[in-house]
Amino acid sequence: MNELPAQPGTRTVPIGNRFDRMEWAGAFGDLGTLIPFVAAYITVLTLDPFGVLFAFGASMVVCGLYYKTPFPVQPMKAIGAAAAVQAAQVVITPGAVYAAGLVTGIVWLALGLTGFSSRVAKVVPASVVAGIVLGLGFGFMLEGVKMIQTDWLVAGIGGIATLLLLGNRKFPAMFALLVFGAAVGVYRSPDLLAGLARSGVGVRTPEFALGSLSWNDLWIGAVLLALPQVPLTLGNALIAIKKENNELFPHVPVTEKKISISTGLMNLFSSSVGGVPMCHGAGGMAGHVAFGARTGGAVVILGVLLLVLAVFFSGSVELLFRLFPSAVLGVILFLAGAQLALGAGSIGETRAARMVVLATAAFCMWNVAVGFLVGVALHHLQGRGLLRL
């Protein structure tokens, strides 16, 4: 297979998709984000596991085949968090989640087709982009540490073994971590295996989920869920992912327009089959790459596995997710965040420029939309000589 040079100091990367053991290992590098959000949608909001997994699986297969890099498909975090929190107030229904996906799809498809997403992204300063990527990386690491704190012993064993095996092509680190996590889960809760055995196999097919939407669902989905996510998606799932992809895989570049259209189409599809709002989060690519993925093959592999789970084992999904201790998922999330932060690039040549990057990063650890606005404001103050440090 023909190959092109990768980043300086790294091995070459192939043109086209690959499905070797490293792609298989890298396929699971985004589980630290995927499992907690999917579990929350299924358990807290009582969404049908079939629709959620089917939408993710189909979208991953298409994106892996189309982009040919480890281009991720992730849950939209702001929507997922808001939906889970407000569900306790009997505000968010499954229909509202589907409506949020529908509105999200329409918004990003329109922004992509009109080229407006590209025009907005071009006026964002490089220092703000670097701050967004750095902040997202630190945010992932912090969330990983919080999950690791639930069981320091398990996290320590899994983390040390993973670090020792990173880059090992004979026995990829992710395989060791997943096997270790599953073993711990079975040891601590042996009834999980019995539950999985009892659940059996059942064949499911997609159903149209938008036919029963009410005006109340549309209102809540649009105003409370979809629209607040737009600035976050712009920073994390458009600007940051473009920077990350084009630096790691310059032979397969992407544009804001392409990403925006992709985001729109997969959300229109997801909402129609009972899935959740999705995006191309930069942390997802970092997770895939950190554990060995270098092509879209990793995303295709994960997508196919999710499709199999959806079609044949959707009734067992909740039990399956419980196999993996939170601390193990925290290790995955921490390493994905480290990979992302390391790719942030230069943090500026002057103290004022570094302040823009670091302030943007700090606020992005809390809220990407706020970090984006703070970074742009500080950049303009620096440009006018009003920011002196």
Contact between 164 and 346 (Cβ < 8 Å): no
- What was the pLDDT predicted at 86? 58
Q: How confident is the model at residue 55 (pLDDT cuts 50, 70, 90)?
A: very high
Neighbours of 255 (CB within 10 A): 15
Average pLDDT over the chain, rounded to an integer: 83
Look up residue 252 and give its two tokens: 């397969």
Give 376: exposed, middle or buried? Use CB within 10 Å, 0-12, 13-18, 19+: middle
The DSSP letter of residue 20 is S
**3-state per-residue secondary structure call for 143-154:** HHHHHHCCCHHH
How confident is residue 84, by pLDDT bands cut at 50, 70 and 90?
Answer: low
Tokens of 341: 């932060």
The predicted pLDDT at position 9 comes to: 40
For 9-73, the DSSP string reads TS--EESS---SHHHHHHHTTTHHHHHHHHHHHHHTS---HHHHHHHHHHHHHHHHHHH-S----
Q: pLDDT, tens digit, for every residue of 220-274? A: 888 878 876 777 688 778 888 999 999 999 999 999 999 999 999 999 999 999 9
Judged by average pLDDT, the poorest of 2-6, 87-91, 112-116, 161-165 is 2-6
Tokens representing 127?
A: 């220092």
Give the DSSP letter string of 108-133: HHHHHHTTHHHHHHHTS-HHHHHHHH
Global pTM reads 0.78
**Would the pLDDT of 90 be above 50?**
no
Q: Which H helix or E strand runs over 4? A: strand 3-4
Cα separation, 135 vs 362, whole angstroms: 6
- Domain segments of the chain: what residues? 10-124+167-328
Q: Is the pLDDT of residue 73 over 90?
A: yes
Express each pLDDT in 31-43 by its tens digit: 877 887 787 788 7
Instruction: Read off the pLDDT of residues 176-219 as tens digits, 9 standing for 90 and up.
Output: 888 898 889 888 888 877 777 677 677 888 889 998 888 888 98
Strand partners, 278: 75
pLDDT of residue 44: 67
In the structure, what pLDDT confidence band is assigned to residue 330 with cuts at 50, 70 and 90? confident
> How confident is the model over 296-301, as a mean pLDDT?
96
pLDDT at 85: 55
In SS3 terms, 56-100 reads as HHHHHHHHHHHHCCCCCCEECHHHHHHHHHHHHHCCCCHHHHHHH
Burial string for 84-122 (b: 16+ CB within 10 Å, else e) reads bebbeeeebbbbbbbbbbbbbbbbbbebbeeeebbeebe
**Max avg pLDDT among 88-97, 228-237, 280-289, 368-377:** 280-289
Query: Do the Cβ atoms of 279 and 290 come closer than 8 Å?
Result: no
